[in-house]
Structure 1
Amino acid sequence: MLKELFTKSKKKKYATIPSERDKQDVPEGIMTKCPNCKKIMYTKELVKNAKVCLHCGHHHTMTADERIESLFEPGSFTELDEGLLTANPLDFPDYMDKIEKDREKSDLNEAVVTGVGKIGGHELAVAVMDSRFRMGSMGSVVGEKITRAIEKAGESGIPFLIFTASGGARMQEGVLSLMQMAKTSAALKMFSDGGGLIVSVMTHPTTGGVSASFASLGDINLAEPGALIGFAGRRIIEQTIREELPDDFQTAEFLMKHGQLDAVVSRLDMKEKLENILEIHVPGGEWV
């Protein structure tokens, strides 16, 4: 007995594997880990905070429906052109299979939701891109829906607001996708010449042909904190100019510092900021 008291117990070489009875199942989706600060929080609390991290302020990805619900007055939003569907004009292999998978995953027909609604009592046309659908890439239907929303704003004499989130032009549609840059830009020019107010809000990421066309053509250009905004990728630029770029290159803060944005606005303050812009520029719903 004394020997047992003074003898060190041997450590187990391998950890004990808990039985199925000992495991506690945590429902999927109940917790969310922030990719920036690595803190874990309840998903419900994150959603209540407009998907802005409670610890570091990181802006998590927001769906088009969530953004519309967070900004527009209840019951005021009417969707436009929901039934426009993508075709496969170039017969690109497996393209329609991928489109169908994204429809099921996102419950959207395309990478942008357009419509008319009210913010702060002011009616406006809006286009909200959703990165869950083909990474928000710009194809023929995306360009057509945005163009129609701009034209609707012009016909109704109301402002046009767009939230961008895109990886750029959709390669499966080739030059038909690139043509949307010119089409949307021309529509915005006609709308602007008629006195229309254009507000663009760039979210993470806004890149490629989208950043080089309608995303950057607002009378007022805003962005969410930390959003990646740029045309070509960082690595391509560094290889081309043979120089190392700053760490914050192509972030919203970098663009703001160099005069390419009017403001970087937290999602928590976005509704108030938009209400102020609309109040200043379109009192009573008429052009100033």
Structure 2
Amino acid sequence: PMDRNMISTDPIKFDFEEPYKTEDIIKNEIPSISEEVDKLYEEMQTILGPSYTEESTSEKEDNTSEKEETPFIVLYGNMADEEFDFDIEEEEYYINRLDSYQIDTGLAEAVQTGTGKLNGIPIAIGVMDFDFFGGSMGSVVGEKITRLVEYAANNYLPLIIVCASGGARMQEGSISLLQMSKISSALYYYQLNNKLFYISILTSPTTGGVTASFGMLGNIIITEPDAYIAFA
């Protein structure tokens, strides 16, 4: 514990101490604002002449009185009465947009998963389609890829995922972002615990949450020539 009798060998003290009052400082050291304004006004009269300063002062007073007397609606009446027609089409509901993409592409979602053989070797494969909602990753895409990875892990299959995506599907909010960690966790188990082989193929474009998760986790990463690869 510290000894209360100990004192600093190099105490810090003020060089000068004198009792004071704040009023004294203001009175003695800060000049009066009105006096300074009067001096400036006199200098302006000397340089520009008395007529100029009197006219500018009177104009200023007239403008301030007009602003005080004029209500807001009169000042901005023309803007308040004007009707703005932006001609913006109302965006379809998310569920309706999903239906239209399913009809146009013939796909159920932005990724197709399955198993097959490559040169006689059994593999698990997932292929994303940018034509379906920009290949965006929502809850269904995340679930399908996660189940594909888990199936490949349980059956000891090599895994190939062909990526083409604009990123996480913003219409699903934070749920779409959760797919990044879910797929990455499944790949962690697949690659490190089971010591299995994952190939990631990045087509153009591959961006956003796909790039930040399973797109960059392959044991081998292959890209198309001049492919657009980005995070944000």
Question: Take 1:154 and 1:218, find their aligned partners in 2: how far apart are those partners?
Answer: 14
Question: Take 1:103 and 1:227, find their aligned partners in 2: how far apart are those partners?
Answer: 26
Per the TM alignment, residue 93 of structure 1 is displaced from its structure 2 partner at its CA by: 6.4
The answer to whether 1:113 aligns with 2:112 is: yes
State the partner residue of 1:177.
Answer: 176
Question: Take 1:163 and 1:99, find their aligned partners in 2: how far apart are those partners?
Answer: 22
State the partner residue of 1:135.
Answer: 134
Secondary structure at 1:99's aligned position in 2? helix
Question: Take 1:168 and 1:157, find their aligned partners in 2: how far apart are those partners?
Answer: 29
Deviation digits for residues 101-149 of structure 1, max 9, x if unmatched? 0000110000000000001000010110000110000000000000000
Alignment of 1:268-279 (within 5 A): none
Look up the equivalent residue of 1:212 and give its one-letter code: A
Runs of 4 or more, structure 1, over 3 Å off, are none
Question: Take 2:188 and 2:93, find their aligned partners in 1: how far apart are those partners?
Answer: 36
Runs of 5+ unmatched residues, structure 2: 1-90
Per the TM alignment, residue 226 of structure 1 is displaced from its structure 2 partner at its CA by: 1.3
Secondary structure at 2:101's aligned position in 1? helix
State the partner residue of 2:230.
Answer: 230
Question: Take 2:121 and 2:225, find their aligned partners in 1: how far apart are those partners?
Answer: 26
Secondary structure at 1:203's aligned position in 2? strand
The answer to whether 1:211 aligns with 2:208 is: no
Question: Take 1:132 and 1:202, find their aligned partners in 2: how far apart are those partners?
Answer: 16
Question: Take 2:220 and 2:104, find their aligned partners in 1: how far apart are those partners?
Answer: 33
State the partner residue of 1:99.
Answer: 98
Question: Take 2:101 and 2:159, find their aligned partners in 1: how far apart are those partners?
Answer: 27
The answer to whether 1:191 aligns with 2:190 is: yes
Runs of 5+ unmatched residues, structure 1: 1-91, 233-288
Deviation digits for residues 252-287 of structure 1, max 9, x if unmatched? xxxxxxxxxxxxxxxxxxxxxxxxxxxxxxxxxxxx
State the partner residue of 1:166.
Answer: 165
Deviation digits for residues 37-94 of structure 1, max 9, x if unmatched? xxxxxxxxxxxxxxxxxxxxxxxxxxxxxxxxxxxxxxxxxxxxxxxxxxxxxxx960
Look up the equivalent residue of 2:206 and give its one-letter code: T
State the partner residue of 1:220.
Answer: 220
Question: Take 1:155 and 1:180, find their aligned partners in 2: how far apart are those partners?
Answer: 20
Alpha-carbon spacing, 1:104–1:111, altered in 2? closer, same or farther (3 Å): same
Flag the structure with higher helix content: 2
Secondary structure at 2:173's aligned position in 1? helix
Question: Take 2:207 and 2:117, find their aligned partners in 1: how far apart are those partners?
Answer: 28
Look up the equivalent residue of 1:198 and give its one-letter code: Y
Question: Take 1:185 and 1:93, find their aligned partners in 2: how far apart are those partners?
Answer: 32
Question: Take 2:184 and 2:127, find their aligned partners in 1: how far apart are those partners?
Answer: 17
Question: Take 1:124 and 1:157, find their aligned partners in 2: how far apart are those partners?
Answer: 9
Give the greater-gyration-radius structure (CA): 2
**If the length of structure 2 is used for normalisation, what is the TM-score?**
0.60
Look up the equivalent residue of 2:218 and give its one-letter code: G
RMSD: 1.1
Look up the equivalent residue of 1:174 and give its one-letter code: G
Question: Take 1:191 and 1:174, find their aligned partners in 2: how far apart are those partners?
Answer: 27
Look up the equivalent residue of 2:195 and give its one-letter code: G
Question: Take 1:155 and 1:93, find their aligned partners in 2: how far apart are those partners?
Answer: 41
State the partner residue of 1:200.
Answer: 200
Secondary structure at 2:130's aligned position in 1? coil
Identity %: 50
Question: Take 2:123 and 2:152, find their aligned partners in 1: how far apart are those partners?
Answer: 7
Question: Take 1:226 and 1:141, find their aligned partners in 2: how far apart are those partners?
Answer: 29
Alignment of 1:2-151 (within 5 A): 94-151=93-150
Secondary structure at 1:125's aligned position in 2? strand
Look up the equivalent residue of 1:208 and give its one-letter code: G
Secondary structure at 1:230's aligned position in 2? coil
